[in-house]
Amino acid sequence: MVAGTVSSAREDILGRIRAAIDGAPSQPEAERPPYRRFGALDPEARVALFCERASEYSATVTRCVPAEVAVRIGEICAERGMTHLLVSALEDWDPHPPGVELLPDADLSVSELDSGAGVMTACAVAIAETGTVVLDGGPGQGRRALTLVPDVHLCVVPAERIVELVPEAVARLAPSAREGRALTFISGPSATADIEFDRVEGVHGPRDLVLLVVDEAQA
Amino acid sequence: MTAIRPFPEAAREGLANPQLRANLARATGTIRGKRRAVVEETPDWEELREAGRAIKARTLAALDEHLVVLERAVESAGGKVWWARDAAEANEAVSQIAREHGATEIVKVKSLTTDELGLNEYLAGHGIEAVETDLAELILQLDGDWSSHILVPALHRNRHEIGELFRRTIDREVGDEPAALAEVARTYLRKKFLAARMGVSGANFLVAETGTAVVVESEGNGRMCTTLPPVLVTVAGIEKVIPRWNDLEVFLQLLPRSSTGERMNPYTSLWSGTRAGEGPREFHLVLVDNGRTRVLADEVGRGALACIRCSACLNVCPVYERTGGHAYGSIYPGPIGAILTPQLVGIENAPTLPYASSLCGACYEACPVKIDIPDILVHLRGRAVEAGVEPASERLAMRGLARTFASRRAYESAQRLGRGALRLVPWARVGPLRAWARARDLPSQQPRTFRGWWRAR
């Protein structure tokens, strides 16, 4: 295909569209129907809802106060017999969790990512109603391959990043989208229902998703 | 365009297959239940549906402008945009990109649009193997079969059939348990993901404002295909564009609840063009017409272009539940297929599909963007009649009715005849009407007609 036909395909298609919609009533941007834009829950109920919904998708959810984060990470790794965790950069994780070696992602190849270590990240936003965490490649999150190839994904979720509804999350993520960042919405571990619509956890993404919710209010 | 096999003929195979009907009833019943639960718990579901409908209608009304905005946004994010008038141009674009990169094996994430285009077959003809990585699509590809459901393409296969297939093609030892079969697929495909030089995806949505492509999935194969290979080609119909970033707040709620009956699907990937140190180094977006502008030109029929491919209409359709997806003769089965396929390929090539419905309206109730499928079905029946391609039995019956209704005398004598004919009902079961009579109860005979009563009054 040469450039000429590409551009004429473009003109043809746009021309066909204009002919097809010619005379169609124009649709001014109307007021949107009053679906929920803002949540109504207080912070504690919002965090509780997030934990409940994420657990329903077989994510392992655990809560702690900020001072306990490093220790809890160490425990989560010990429970799984993990000694190494991939992270986007070492300086994002201070203090270091005890008993775990952090491996920074210094342009690791995909086979290095596939070497068996789990991965630990932060998140940009989390959505209570759907039990979702969203990564946008911001601090502590790294590139997408980092959270895709390893089999265990430990995601640290600060309570103040949890919003109640999808529209609130989409609004918070708008600057990232406009910057051209890649986003990943994660709701539970990888799953399939392709055989007899029977849900099976774990196909290609991490089969073990651990969410550590960090909340000052949590005793 | 080749004509699609008549629905009544194609439906016979599914109807005669008890295994298929059992699989269908079980799967559609399960999905219906899950969907109902997550829809009922959403207090603003009707407002979201209305918002989805309105966004799609507004987008289609200025589709050219939104596509130009999308093109500019993708290009300024480092992507390249291709325009394809038809399947041949779209397939050639993908093939050309693959050849330029010396890619002889590409990994693909499930895409109805590329199935519609016949992309895999085209690439195979050019020495390029397209590996389907969605578990169901892999099952179908390994067996040379094709999809029967938008969401669960291998719905017509049960675990024993799939286990047998995997033992024959990938792993001689594997059993029939879905978890074990998924594990085999994981190991088999992981090597391919890590080595692939090019990935191909479809898109659930394309956000014009930000140039963002969106892939909604469950298994993680979509993330693999759109993240790991250095070259990514996304092939999408022109109707997939939505104008604004915040339009996603509506569709990311409507789609998972309508499709898998989940509050949110496990993974949704969103990206714009390319980004240093993140994902593919090269991104191509192929925008495909392939009949869509023809659909757009039909004021009633264009409603079908709002479809977000959730498959809720399949799961509630009494016809689909009994015939299965293959009867619809295209990769778009069920009620949405019955209105989309005849428009994409031309009514003359699929004249029986608009009749593959009882017009019960369940599909309209379930549709997350409120596509009035029954209305479009009736409209397309009208077009089939105008084109003189409606089913022969329908034509004969309607001609007869037209003559009968045209004169009082004809109508009254038809009534007398009809009353007489009802006495012959048992005979209909063996005569030429037996196929019709088998599936229907006739009205009971009344002592006199209304007209007779009126005159005698």
Q: Determine the distance in angstroms separating the CA of A208 from the nearest CA of chain B, rounded to an integer.
A: 12
Look at chain A and count its residues: 219
Question: CB of A185 within 8 Å of any CB in chain B?
Answer: yes
Q: What is the pTM of this model?
A: 0.92
* pLDDT surpasses 80 at A2: no
Residues of chain B above pLDDT 90, percent: 71
Question: CB of B224 within 8 Å of any CB in chain A?
Answer: yes
Note whether A130 contacts B263, CB cutoff 8 Å: yes
Question: What is the average pLDDT score of chain A?
Answer: 91
Q: Which two tokens stand for residue A179?
A: 């910057």
How many whole angstroms separate alpha carbon B414 and alpha carbon B425?
16
Contact B317, B295 (CB under 8 A): no
User: What SS3 state is found at B157?
Assistant: coil
Q: Which two tokens stand for residue B392?
A: 């022969």
| Residues of chain A contacting residue B219, judged by C-beta atoms under 8 Å apart | 190-192, 194, 203-205
A17: nearest CA in chain B? B293
Question: CB of A171 within 8 Å of any CB in chain B?
Answer: yes
Question: CB of B311 within 8 Å of any CB in chain A?
Answer: no
| Residues of chain A contacting residue B221, judged by C-beta atoms under 8 Å apart | 203-204
How many whole angstroms separate alpha carbon B54 and alpha carbon B60?
10
**pLDDT tens sequence across B393-414:** 778 888 888 888 888 888 888 8
DSSP-derived secondary structure letter, A141: T
Distances (CA, A) of A90 to A65, A120, A150, B252, B261: 21, 11, 18, 34, 39
Q: Which two tokens stand for residue B203?
A: 């898109």
How many whole angstroms separate alpha carbon B142 and alpha carbon B162?
10
Where chain B has pLDDT below 70, the residues are: 1, 422-439, 442-443
* Weakest mean pLDDT among A36-50, A166-180, B172-186, B252-266: B172-186
* Weakest mean pLDDT among A14-18, A64-68, A165-169, B443-447: B443-447
* pLDDT surpasses 70 at A3: no
How many whole angstroms separate alpha carbon B150 and alpha carbon B153?
6
Nearest CB among A13, A25, A166 relative to B293 is that of: A13
Nearest CB among A178, A190, A195 relative to B178 is that of: A195
CB-count burial class (<10 Å; 0-12, 13-18, 19+) for B21: middle
Residue given tokens 């029967």 in the structure block: B148
Note whether A198 contacts B287, CB cutoff 8 Å: no
Interface probe with B: pick from A52, A121, A178, A203, most Cβ of B within 10 Å: A203
| Residues of chain B contacting residue A203, judged by C-beta atoms under 8 Å apart | 135, 182, 185-186, 218-221
